[in-house]
Structure 1
C-alpha cells in the first residue's frame, strides 16, 4: 500500500508543484477537483470526467447521508465502485451544507441538528458522525467537521466559530480510523482575521493531520480580501503537507490561489456554468445562448480537445440550448471541466520552468480580451456524413 503523503517537485515563488500519493493513485498538484456532490459530476459520465485529465473528485457527506445513505453505499462496495471512480475521492464533511440550511438547523457545542431539505426528516451531525459516514463511503480524503460562518461577521463571532471548529477538529481526529494511503484534513478557519487564522493553524498542527484546508473564504468577502487572507495564511501552514482552498473558484481565483501556495481546489462553477450555457475559454466567458453564435461554425475554443470543441461548432451548441436539449449542458460541462484541467496543467508546467508570472500575465490578458476574430481562429475540421 502507498503511504498517504505529498511530495514537492518544484516551486516558483510561493507556488508549488508536486504529487499527492494515495491508496487510490497519485494526483499531480496543483489540481482542480470536479464536484460530484451526490456521487456524480452533474451532466457527465465518469469516463468523460477521466478524459479531461481530472485526477481526483469530490463527494459530499450531507447529501450522500440523506440519499442514498452511507450504509447503502458501503454495502454496494463504497463510493469508488458506486460512482465508477477508482481514483481518489475527497468528501466534504457536510458542515458547509448544514450551516447554509438557516432555520432548518440548530447548532450546539456538540454538533448540529437539522431537517432534511428533501423530506423534512430530522438528522444530527457531530464530528464523530461525520467522520464515520466518510469512513463508510470509503473516502480517500476525509474532512474534519467544522462550522463555516458567512462573511462579513463581527470578529468576536468569527473567533467563537473558529474555536468551536478547532474543538470539533480534535474530536474528528480522535474518531478517524487510520488506514494506509488514506488521509484526513483539518480546516483552517478565522474569516479574514490574520490573528485568528494563525491561532487556527496552531491548533490544527498541534492535533496533526495529513493535509490542511483553508475554509471560510469565497463566502462574500471579495477576491482581493481572499487573496490577502491567503497571503497571511499559507506561509504559516506546514510546508510538507497538501493545502486545499475549499469552494474556489473562477479561473482567476485558481491562478491567484496557486500563486499564493495552494495545491488543491474544488468548485461548482464549471459545471453550473455548463448547465447555463456559459463556456470558460482563454478569451473569457462565452454565453452560448447569445444570438451572435447562431450561425457560427467555429468551435468554442481552438485550443480545446473536448468533444464539444472537436466535433461541434458554436451554432450547434447554441441550437441545443435554445431547444432545451439536455445534450447542450452535457457538452458544455465537459468543455468547462476540460478547460479547468488544462489550466491546472499549464500552471504545473509553468511552476516547473519558473515561468508562472509570465503565464499569469498571458492568461489575464486573454481573459480581459474580446472573443477570437475570424482571422485568429481556424474553422473546425468537422467531416460531413456522405
Structure 2
C-alpha cells in the first residue's frame, strides 16, 4: 500500500465500519460520501460551499475532463486541484463507465475502446494505459483502474467475459500506474449478480494488489433489492484492511443499507441533480418544492437543518425561485441536499462508533416514512 495513503479502522458495528483514510491532501472520514464534480465543478456549488457541507473529498470525471478542456491543459495549469480551487482530496473515475454508455459511438477491443466524443464527434482512443496517464496529468489523489462496467441485465456468460476483460485491464492499469508518491490506485470488482464471478474478480484483484477496492457494476438498473443481495456477499470478498467503495450510489436509503453491509465510500450525482429539479432530501423524506402546497408556506424546508436554504429562506421563496427558473434555486437546493447527505454520513459514523447503527437506521427510516410536515 502506498505509504502516503493510510486506512485506519476505528470502530465496527456488525459488518459496518468507520475509520479514516489519510492522503497527502487531508483525511477522509469513512463512511464517506463524495459529491460529484464531473467537469471540475460540483454543479451550482462553489468549492468553498461544498467544503462547508462537510465533504472531505470530491469525485472528478476522466472522460469529461479528457474531452474538455483536456488533461494536458489541466496539467499545464497546475493540475485539477488548482484548476478547480479545491484543496482536499479528489478521486477520479477511469472513464470506463461513460465510454461504455456510448453504445452507438464506441468500438471495444481487447486493447481498449475507440469512441467518438458526444460533444463534437472527434475520435478518441482510451486504454488502461491512457486512462492512467490522464489521471496522472489530472493529479487526483485516488485513481481508478480502467474497467468495463458490466451492463444489467446480461447473461452469466456475458458477465464472465466482461469481468475477465476488466481483470486483464486491471493488471495493465497497475503496471501503467507505477509507484507515484501522491496517488493511490483502486481496483474494481465486477461479476454482475453472480457470487462465483464476484469471488473470481476479488481473488484476481487481490493478486494484483491495490490500495483500495471498488464494487462496480451496481446501480445500473438492477434495483435496490438486487443491489443489497449482491452487497450481502461482495464486500466481504475484498480485503478487510483496505477501503471499499461502492460506485455510483445512491439514495439515502441505499447508503444506510450499504454501510450496514460493509461499504466505506460512495459517490452519486443525485443530491445535486435532484436539487436542480426541485427535489430536496430531508429528515422527513423527499420534498418536491415545485408542488403548489409550498407557494405560501413561510416555514423552512427542514426546521432542524442549518444549511443556508433552511436557515435563511422559506418554502415559499424556494418554490418561487424554482418556478421562476432562477439560478439561486439550484444553488440553495443543491447545497441543502449535499448538507443533508453529509449530516447523514456523520450520523452514521457516530452510530457505528456507539454500536447503535441498527437503531439509528430504524429511527431514520421511520422519520422518512412519516412524511413531510402537514400543509398549512
Displacement of 1:2: 6.6
Determine the structure 2 residue equivalent to 1:170: 171
Q: Cα offset for 1:369?
A: 1.2
Taking the TM superposition and a 5 Å limit, the aligned residue runs for 1:297-376 are: 297-373=298-374
Q: Distance in 2 between matches of 1:54 and 1:374?
A: 33
- Matched with 1:239 is 240
Q: Conserved in 1, the CA contact under 8 Å of 2:150 and 2:191? A: no
Match of 2:128 in 1: 127
Determine if the alignment matches structure 1 residue 286 to structure 2 residue 287. yes
| Distance of 2:85 and 2:189 partners within structure 1 | 31
What CA distance in whole angstroms lies between the structure 2 residues aligned with 1:354 and 1:181? 34
Mapped contact 2:190–2:216 kept (Cα < 8 A): yes
| Total equivalences in the alignment | 375
The equivalent of 2:61 in structure 1 is: 60
Q: Deviations over 1:102-129 (max 9, x none)?
A: 1100000000000000000000100000
Q: What CA distance in whole angstroms lies between the structure 2 residues aligned with 1:2 and 1:176? A: 16
What SS does structure 1 have at the residue aligned with 2:125?
Answer: strand
Q: How many angstroms does 1:91 deviate by? A: 0.2
Deviations 1:250-300 (A, max 9, x none): 000000010000000000000100000000001110000000000111111
Residues 21 and 181 in structure 1, CA contact (< 8 A), matched pair in contact too: no
Rounded Cα–Cα distance in structure 1 between residues aligned with 2:119 and 2:42: 20
Cα deviation, 1:345-381, whole Å, max 9, x if unaligned, reads: 0000000000000000011111111212489xxxxxx
Deviations 1:14-33 (A, max 9, x none): 00000001011111000000
Pairwise CA distance, 1:8: 0.1
Deviation at 1:149, TM superposition (A): 2.3
Report if aligned partners of 1:277, 1:287 keep a CA contact under 8 Å in 2.
Answer: yes
Q: Which runs of 4+ in 1 moved over 6 A?
A: none
- TM-score by length of structure 2 reads 0.98
Distance 1:358 1:217 in 2: 27
| Separation (CA, whole Å) in 2 of partners of 1:111 and 1:92 | 16
Aligned twin of 1:77 = 78
Contact 1:93–1:143 at 8 Å: present in 2 too? yes
Q: Secondary structure at the residue paired with 2:66?
A: helix
- Tell me the C-alpha RMSD between the 2 structures: 1.2
Equivalent-residue separation in structure 2 for 1:66 and 1:215 (angstroms): 23
User: Is 2:219 the counterpart of 1:218?
Assistant: yes
Which position in structure 2 is the counterpart of 1:108?
A: 109
Equivalent pair of 1:57/1:88 in contact (CA under 8 Å): yes
Q: Distance in 1 between matches of 2:30 and 2:374?
A: 34
Q: What is the SS of the residue equivalent to 2:37?
A: coil
Contact 1:4/1:180, CA 8 A, preserved across alignment: no
Cα distance in 2 for partners of 1:345, 1:287 equals 25
Q: 1:380 — aligned with what?
A: none
- Is 1:41 the counterpart of 2:48? The answer is no
Distance, in Å, in 1 between the alignment partners of 2:330 and 2:175 is 43
Q: Secondary structure at the match of 2:210?
A: coil
Q: Is the 8 A contact 1:2 1:23 kept in 2?
A: no
**Residue 263 (structure 1) aligned with residue 264 (structure 2):** yes
CA distance in 2, matches of 1:48, 1:226: 32
